[in-house]
Amino acid sequence: MNAYLCDDQKHIALANSSFKNTLLRDDFTIRCGGKLLDLSQPRVMGIINVTEDSFFADSRSRALADVVSKASRHLLEGAAILDIGAQSTRPGATKVGADQEMERLLPAITAILKAHPEAIISIDTFYASVAACCVKAGAAIINDISAGDLDEAMIPTVGALRVPYIAMHMQGSPDTMQQHPHYENVVQEVLDYFIQKLAVCKQAGMEDVIVDPGFGFGKTIAHNYTLLRHLAAFRILEAPLLAGVSRKSMIYKVLGNTASDALNGTTVIHSMALERGARLLRVHDVKAAMEAVTLYHTLATA
């Protein structure tokens, strides 16, 4: 771990030498449709999976009535964003094509916006065609687990759509990512990946890019905790940080329980991520996450 700490200190020292007069930012805003979402206080993104095989069973909602009910509950509990996914990306999951994703996503978007016209909807997809259709239907954010690596049209498409983009790091693809994850230095390699990726996104015309280190995607438990320990190093990117750790195996395998029993562990990890600069938490349990955010913000502003 100490080697990683030294590397982080080198990155921060380099950042300080390059941006001597620039403070590390927390005052981010992102434009979602006609709204500005202020991230100076961390926000919560509630997960809605219109799938049959996502790793946490309680997150699955196929019937539109269930989708709207879950969206309503997330919003009531304080979610700023609803993140809708139509494909499980857990290891071994069956891959879903773009057409099937759209068949699942478009009715969900329409139903949620009918019930909650002001809702900010994020779409979890790595298909450019799905991104374009969903934004046309009213989605405001694209959340791509591959940061454009699984569809070369994604970054130009999102750049043209002028919507916020969540770029996540993943080593490999969903079906291979957990076979043999390997890094010489996970913090440095993921940070270098985002330095290059943010430049590509900027060149494509994107203004709002959110960085997600990709906990659990092509990483061992040790890699995940090293990234979490040094999450603050990613603040030199001057982009909002998203932490997606909710009920993941990096929590329940360490605790020796299951995803269903991992809420308390998730809340602990959320608190650690907030202390290290996360501005967005992608979660299954909005109420618990909002309590963590409220307590963190109270401490941070005391």
Give the burial class of 252: count Cβ atoms within 10 A of its Cβ; 0-12 exposed, 13-18 middle, 19 or more buried. Answer: middle
Q: SS3 helix, strand, coil % of the chain, rounded to 5?
A: 45, 15, 40
Catalytic residue among 70, 197, 247, 282: 282
Say whether 279 is catalytic: no
Q: How is residue 275 written in tokens? A: 């202390």
Q: Which residues contact 283 (CB under 8 A, 6 or more apart)?
A: 44, 45, 46, 47, 246, 266, 270, 289
Q: Are the beta carbons of 251 and 261 closer than 8 angstroms?
A: no
Say whether 282 is catalytic: yes
**DSSP 3-state of 138:** coil
Catalytic residue among 43, 248, 276, 279: 248
Q: How many residues belong to the chain?
A: 302
Which residues participate in catalysis according to the annotation? Answer: 248, 282
